[in-house]
Structure 1
Amino acid sequence: MSRLTDLIAQVKAKDPATGAELEREFQVLSSRRAFGLNFERHRPEAVELPQRKIRKGDKVRILPPRGSTKKGEQRLWLVKSLSGRGESKSATLDLIGGGEPETQSVAVVDLVVVAEFRDVIYPGLVSTGKVERGGDRPYHTVINGENFHVLKALTYSHRGKIDAIYIDPPYNSGAQDWKYNNNYVEKDDLYRHSKWLAMMERRLRVARELLNPLNSVLIVAIDDKEFARLALLLEQTFPDARQEMITTVINPRGKYRQGEFARCEEYIFFLAFGAAKVLGEPDGDFAAGSTVSWRTLRRSDLSSARGTKKGGTSQFYPIYIGGSGRIERIGEALDHAVDRKTAPQLPGCVAVFPIRDDGTEMNWGLTGPSLKSLLDNGYVRVGRATPDRPQQYEVSYLTSGRIADIESGRAKVVGRAEDGSVIAKYETSKIKMPVSTWARPSHNAEIYGTDLLKALIGDRTFPFPKSLHAVEDCLRLFIADKPEAIVLDFFSGSGTTAHAVMRLNRQDGGRRQCISVTNNEVAAEEQAALRKKKLRPGDIDWEKWGICEYITKPRIAAAITGKSPDGKEIEGDYKFTDEFQIAEGFDENAEFFTLTYETPVSVSHNKAFARIAPLLWMRAGSEGRRIDALPAKGWEVADTYGLLTDLDKAAPFCKAIASEDAVRIAYIVTDDDRRFQSVARRLPVTVEPVRLYESYLSNFQFTNGE
């Protein structure tokens, strides 16, 4: 180890950047755990930001010529200076790392900004549209951006506030379905699994900061390629969580694979934190309005046949049923050796014994006295007559559980049958704990994922969308009792999670909101065609085909309005828990944003307020009016928060805050901590004082750390 340390020191003397990176990797290697999940953490990921303007001090890559199908060079350059204007604007670049210094001048239009994940970022948001049908309800938000950076942004607005995270990450199938450092990870990549784990670990570590530690859930859907590794990663990243895995059938026909089993299932991990627990779900056999079920009185297992040890000696007796179909008397039990034909006869009645069709003598499920007690209360029923069979009448009874349902009021007696037995129906659905293997028709991803998405947005294709009802069921098990829950999906794809949250709100009048995070990546098969048209990422005609613009935003808008992107009413109905026409839409609000990257100087000097404003609004609950510009009078109060920029106007600001019951946060712009504290003391105790921009800047310096 000492020899390696000496060598690293020598490299640092000649090339500080490379030496520092070698030292970081050495520290990671030396701290690797001996047991558990071991994998290469790799160098930090980097993401290209094609829509970001080039600034002095940026890290950039040089793009390939327009029309080229080749990738640009992957080396990173530092922008030392900028010169010129418009199309002739150029940048002087210095090579980052790599030993020998290298400098060149490149046209700015041929550069793209690159953000490495170890860099400190200062995020902002720009609104790109909204859909409003929900009145004063909170807004669902869709954020277009690199999800790792968006997660960092949310540490300012939602640290410890998220009630549920549902994610469906890329499955690492070896197809062109996910990138690492701007490259698709191929099936023959020796580091495919460790790259996937490194990608997931970084995001899960930030997600941990967002979850409410007292009561929240993390839900992760995955296929068979990575589920075993993911299980270990989740255990290591969230040691305080209670982890369970569900198997769910999403394709009953199975996916054909030559020489292999046809895969029909996926896996879902549930990690519960704090007081979170599975709430249960309505039992289909005991749903509201359904009739209370009866159990056949004759025992069914041969180990309980007459004469067996388990069968006992007190449960083989005659039940005398009269011509009216009523039970007139319950006879005495017969010993094993007594022929049933010798039992006393009751005039006008048939002596019914528990006999199988093949003549095997069984036992009744209750002793005579116990059956008599139930009979007196109407809890025994005579079924159809079967005169040609050894047992000439069917006899049923209510179990102790069904009787408890009646006596507790969960089920109500609505009448009596001719034989005196009760007719009871459930007033409310009975709740049961779901099993760990789901084979539910509603979870069919083809019908309620792919086909539903096509109904919403037409022929815009998206690979393997989740069943709407599968996501809905997962969330319901943990947030059915949280009508104002905040749900996050940072691999939101087509927007199924937000759609599911809307469904839950409609079912119980909830005000839950969903934060959906996706990028605007163009599908691999479409990129080649666009490059032939001499288009590149960042061009308007390129970006309009990205996931966020082409799929996610239109899908959420269609769900809310009930109209497809071309303005037509959507045909078809929602099924299962809540059945109604898709064209009815939802009484919900949604706003769409794109992530921006700010400089600390522009933030602290009020130059970036318009782009910081959405984060302030989201931190206050994403509802009501937003303060999008600095107030001319020095302060302003919106529905859920206030902003003070001139501390000399603190008195009217505090008075206005106190008069509004819905205000939760007061943002106070000052560099003077004593003046901040003076204003904070004058606010109601229910209002959180937040110092701008110190809280914003320090948050992102603090959360950074690869």
Structure 2
Amino acid sequence: MSRLTDLIASVKSKDPSLGADLDREFKALSSRLPFGLNFERHRPEAVELPLRSIRRGDKVRILPPRGSNDSADQRLWHVISIDKLKKTVLIKLISTHEIDQRTVHLDDLVVVAEFRDKIFPGLVSTGSSRRNENKPSHAVINGENYHVLKALTFTHRGKVDAIYIDPPYNTGARDWKYNNDYVESDDLYRHSKWLAFMERRLLIAKELLNPNDSVLIVSIDEKEYLRLGLLLEQVFPEAAIEMVTTVISAKGVARFGQFSRVEEYIYFVRLGRCEVALSEQNMLDDSRSASDKIGKNIDWLGLRRREPTARRGARPNQFYPIFIYIDSGYIHSIGDPIDDSVNRESVTPPNGTFAVWPLKPNGEEGLWGITPETAKRYLKNGFIRSRRHNPKEGKSSIHYLPSGTVEAVRNGSIEVIGHDPDGAIQAVYREKKGVIPKRVWNMPSHNAENGGSLILSRLIPERRFPFPKSLYAVEDALRFFVGDKPNAIILDFFSGSGTTAHAVMRLNRQDGGMRQCLSITNNEVAADEHKALRKRGLRPGDDEWERLGICDYITKPRIRAAICGKTPDGSPIKGDYKYVDGFSMSEGFDENAEFFTLTYEARDAVHHNLAFDRIAPLLWLRAGAVGSKIEHIPNEGWAVVDTYGILTDTDKASPFIESICEVKEIRIAYIVTDDDRRFQAIARRLPKTVEPVRLYEAYLTNFSFANGE
């Protein structure tokens, strides 16, 4: 391709018009041929919205008869008119080559949203669990995750510190749907569908992550890990990407004729300055533990560099003599470096000393690990020493403290408790000295059965969820990146049973943190239940069907149980949490959770302030999800709560601003006006720490573009 661009540039210099035409055609062609991971993107996703009431102008599908397990007619229709008395709908087929118009009963239609359609999302509260009004609330949102992610671009764009997801593994075992149909193992486009499905969501996730310091964590197994790795490189070309292999069941999954699978994979996509924190353990075995070092003596390292390339001349300033007292074996002084042309034997030691050089065991001349200037400074401060000297052979073991240990001595996390006769310090660890985690994890706490299924069965007995993650595995993965961020925002948009929110609550308990988790899941029922419910004449949207959906039956009850310490029937949860922080599960957590369902609003209703009740939770989430919500249009024309305020009558700006100024925790002032000049005038009067947001212009602008394709 570079050769083609060179040729086009050559043509441009001779014939600008022809060169421009060639360049235009080349760009059009190259845009159709993506390089790297290639897959089909031509089929837009669509989602059925059974809870959404049908409106004129909607896009709908005709449902199969009740009691049938047939798939819905995949053709799309436009709603022409609705007869509310007869509960019938006149619809017209959306097709370029067919003309069909018919009347259908209202109950036999379902609204459909394609991902290239514009949406205007809202939220409806479906309950809460509260134990500490001073902390932000975790949020659980029931909805199609692509559309909920779009909603979060209004509330959390660039604010998320960590995303943890455990997406469908695409095993072919009916573990996920594409366009409302299960993707089977014999589907020729199975991998393309999965990649398109993931790419659309990852692109929005990228908008939500803090570009300066955040991480995306993705769990996966062998079915798609190679394709996922390439996809992550394409979506996040600027990121540092690493993959960890983690043992989830040492006993393995027996597969005759194959190796027994014991592992899964975790991708870590680090943005900006995000780094992996030091760990309590190396994650592979018990050979090193940070806690084990507390109260123990510091480690001294050999001063001679050990790598094969450490030869005299490679670093001219690091070949110098260290003079050792013949009698005591202590360091007398540090000599100056010598030129490569100088024979070291020509250097004369001070009286009563001998010279020690950085010599390898075979006698080859090497290098010291620090410069002579640093060595002299270390000698003065007791950070370098000599032991086990042999004047006859001109040998002595020279030790020093690495720069990290020296810094720890200076900041107090290593305590100096005395000095040796030669002045070398005696010191012990007073704080944990973390270890660098390895890229193969073999932690007993990460066992999926004990840390996942068993814990879930205690929280919500008799309710089953396939393959929940180990609570402690998710907790450990997050700790590397948000352990030092007590106010971090964590997102999981494949939240399943709610393990990520549960793990965040454990992290908060360990250090008093205020971290907040946003969990997104739909209310799909399992494949087997889907078939059984269909046979009974039930459909998505029916109360009995929705009660058995993953969000209402698993996710919300699990998070409620974790917080209050009681099962859904009110019994204290049996068992204890283990690892890092062990305590009775019946104690629960001093946390809050709010539960929502995504809604789809009409643009005009939003613009004319007629959808405020559904937009209100988004305003609360954007302001930090702390304390009270303003749930209805204030009669006084304005209202101020814990972290935000809203002004609906600009003539009441003065008392609104006075109230804003009295509350130090206010983050956002929402101002409802179509007049930009008036908005700017009010915004200038607000404290500098308060973000002014114009409603509904900011909301409508955020969503006034095609969603995806």
- Is the TM-score greater than 0.5? yes
1:489 aligns with 2:492: yes
Q: Give secondary structure in 2 for the equivalent of 1:503.
A: helix
Q: Is the 8 A contact 1:36 1:232 kept in 2?
A: yes
Listed one character per residue, the Cα deviations across residues 296-332 of structure 1 (whole Å, up to 9, x for unaligned) are 99xxxxxxxxxxxxxxxxxxxxxxxxxxxxxxx99xx
| In structure 1, C-alpha distance between the alignment counterparts of 2:491 and 2:227, rounded to whole Å | 23
Question: Which among 108, 117, 120 is matched to residue 118 of structure 2?
Answer: 120
How far is 1:256 from its partner? Answer: 1.4
Deviation at 1:286, TM superposition (A): 3.5
Give the one of 87, 90, 94 matched to 2:88. 90
Q: How does 1:365-380 map to 2 (within 5 A)?
A: none
Q: Which amino acid in the other structure matches residue 149 of structure 2? A: L
Take 2:300 and 2:671, find their aligned partners in 1: how far apart are those partners? 71
RMSD of aligned alpha carbons: 3.1
- What whole-Å deviation, never above 9, does each CA across 1:104-160 have from its counterpart, x for those lacking one? 100001111000000000000000000000221000000000000000000001111
Residue-by-residue CA offset, 1:470-528 (whole Å, 9 max, x unaligned): 11111110111111010000000000110111111111111000000000000001112
Amino acid at match of 1:605: H
User: Partner residue of 2:77?
Assistant: 77
Contact 1:279 1:477 in 2 (8 A): yes
* Alpha-carbon shift at residue 69 of structure 1 (Å): 1.8
CA distance in 2, matches of 1:72, 1:29: 38
- C-alpha contact 1:294 1:399 (8 A) present in aligned 2: no
Q: Show the counterpart of 1:130.
A: 128
Q: Which moved more, 1:695-704 or 1:536-545?
A: 695-704
Partner-residue secondary structure (3-state), 2:663: coil
Q: What is the aligned partner in structure 2 of residue 107 from structure 1?
A: 105
Question: Which residue pairs with 2:395 in the alignment?
Answer: none
Structure 1 window deviating more from structure 2 (586-595 vs 573-582): it is 573-582
2:661·2:687 contact (CA, 8 Å) conserved in 1? yes
- Tell me what 2:19 maps to: none
CA deviation vs aligned residue, 1:181-218 (integer Å, no higher than 9, x gap): 00000001000000000000000111111111111111
Q: How does 1:503-522 map to 2 (within 5 A)?
A: 503-522=506-525
- Partner secondary structure for residue 432 of structure 1: coil
* Cα gap change, 1:593 to 1:270, in 2 (>3 Å): same
Pick one of 287, 290, 298 that aligns with 2:291.
Answer: 287
**CA distance, structure 2, for counterparts of residue 43 and residue 155 of structure 1:** 24
Q: Contact conserved, 2:299 with 2:401, CA < 8 A, in 1?
A: no
User: Identity of counterpart residues, as a percentage?
Assistant: 62
SS in 1 for 2:669: strand
Contact 1:292 1:411 in 2 (8 A): no
How far apart are residue 89 of structure 1 and its match? 0.3
Aligned pairs for 1:211-360 (under 5 A) are 211-283=209-281, 284-287=288-291, 290=294, 292=296
Question: Structure 1 residue 432 and structure 2 residue 435: aligned?
Answer: yes
**TM-score with structure 2 length normalisation?**
0.79
Q: Distance in 1 between matches of 2:553 and 2:521?
A: 12
1:577-616 superposed matches below 5 A: 577-616=580-619
Q: Which amino acid aligns with 1:195?
A: K
Which residue does 1:159 correspond to in 2?
157
* 1:140–1:198 Cα change, 3 Å: same
TM-score (norm 1): 0.79
SS at match of 1:282: coil
SS in structure 2 at match of 1:623: coil
The 8 Å contact of residues 214 and 275 in structure 1, kept in 2 or not, is answered as yes
**After the TM superposition, which residues 508-547 of structure 1 pair with which residues of structure 2 at under 5 Å, given as runs?**
508-547=511-550
1:192 matches 2:226:
no
Equivalent residue letter for 1:52:
R
> Match for 1:78: what amino acid?
H
Q: Distance in 2 between matches of 1:404 and 1:673?
A: 58
Post-superposition Cα deviations, 1:43-83, rounded to whole Å, max 9, x if no partner, equal 11000000110110111111111111222211111100000
Q: Structure 1 counterpart of 2:559, which letter?
A: I
CA distance in 2, matches of 1:107, 1:28: 47
Select which of 469, 472, 479 maps to 2:472: 469
Aligned partner letter, 2:45: E
1:66–1:535 contact (8 Å) kept in structure 2: yes
Distance 2:414 2:299 in 1: 16
Q: Which runs of 5+ in 1 are unaligned?
A: 1-26, 298-328, 331-372, 382-396, 417-421
Contact map agreement 2:140 2:596 (CA 8 A) in 1 = yes
Q: CA deviation at 1:412?
A: 5.6
Q: Distance in 2 between matches of 1:407 and 1:682?
A: 50
Distance in 2 separating the partners of 1:209 and 1:568:
42
For 2:241 and 2:409, the matched residues in 1 are separated by 37
Q: Distance in 1 between matches of 2:497 and 2:273?
A: 31
For residues 67 and 232 of structure 1, what CA distance do their matches in structure 2 show? 43
| In the alignment, structure 1 residue 627 sits paired with structure 2 residue 630 | yes
- The amino acid that maps onto 1:272 is R
Please give the alpha-carbon distance, in whole angstroms, between the structure 1 residues aligned to 2:249 and 2:386.
43
Q: Counterpart amino acid of 1:237?
A: V
Equivalent residue letter for 1:275: R
Seen in structure 2, the aligned counterparts of structure 1 residues 29 and 445 have a Cα distance that, compared at 3 Å, is farther
Partner of 1:362 in structure 2? none
Distance 2:576 2:187 in 1: 44
Asked whether the 8 Å contact 1:163–1:215 carries over to 2, the reply is yes
Q: Which residue of structure 2 lines up, in the alignment, with residue 68 of structure 1?
A: 68
Give, in angstroms, the shift of residue 274 of structure 1.
1.0
Q: Which residue of the other structure, out of 568, 577, 585, is the alignment partner of 1:565?
A: 568
- Give the secondary-structure state (helix, strand or coil) at the position aligned to 2:98: coil
Distance 2:255 2:163 in 1: 32
Q: Quote how far apart the aligned CAs of 1:293 are.
A: 7.1
Question: For residues 108 and 28 of structure 1, what CA distance do their matches in structure 2 show?
Answer: 46
CA contact (8 A) 1:286 1:426 kept: no
Counterpart residue type for residue 66 of structure 2: R
Q: Secondary structure at the match of 2:268?
A: strand
- Alpha-carbon distance in structure 1 between the residues aligned to 2:408 and 2:131: 43
Aligned pair in 2 of structure 1 residues 29, 623: CA closer, same or farther (>3 Å)?
farther
In structure 2, distance between residues paired with 1:239 and 1:43: 25
In the alignment, residue 54 of structure 2 is paired with which amino acid? I
Match of 1:680 in 2: 683
Q: CA deviation at 1:233?
A: 0.5
Instruction: Describe the superposition over 1:368-389 as per-residue Cα deviations: whole angstroms up to 9, x where unpaired.
Output: xxxxx9xx99x999xxxxxxxx
Structure 2 partner of 1:171: 169
SS in 1 for 2:103: strand
CA distance in 2, matches of 1:526, 1:445: 24
Distance in 2, matches of 1:288 and 1:550, equals 43
Which residue pairs with 2:33 in the alignment?
A: 33
Instruction: Identify if the C-alpha distance between structure 1 residues 523 and 29 changes in structure 2 by more than 3 Å, giving closer, same or farther.
Output: farther
**Contact 1:168-1:220 at 8 Å conserved across structures:** yes
State the secondary structure of the residue aligned to 1:447. Answer: helix
SS of corresponding position for 1:626: coil
Give 3-state SS (helix, strand or coil) of 2:43's partner: coil
Q: Name the CA shift for 1:465/1:31 in 2 (closer, same or farther; >3 Å).
A: same
Say which of 184, 201, 204 aligns to 2:202: 204
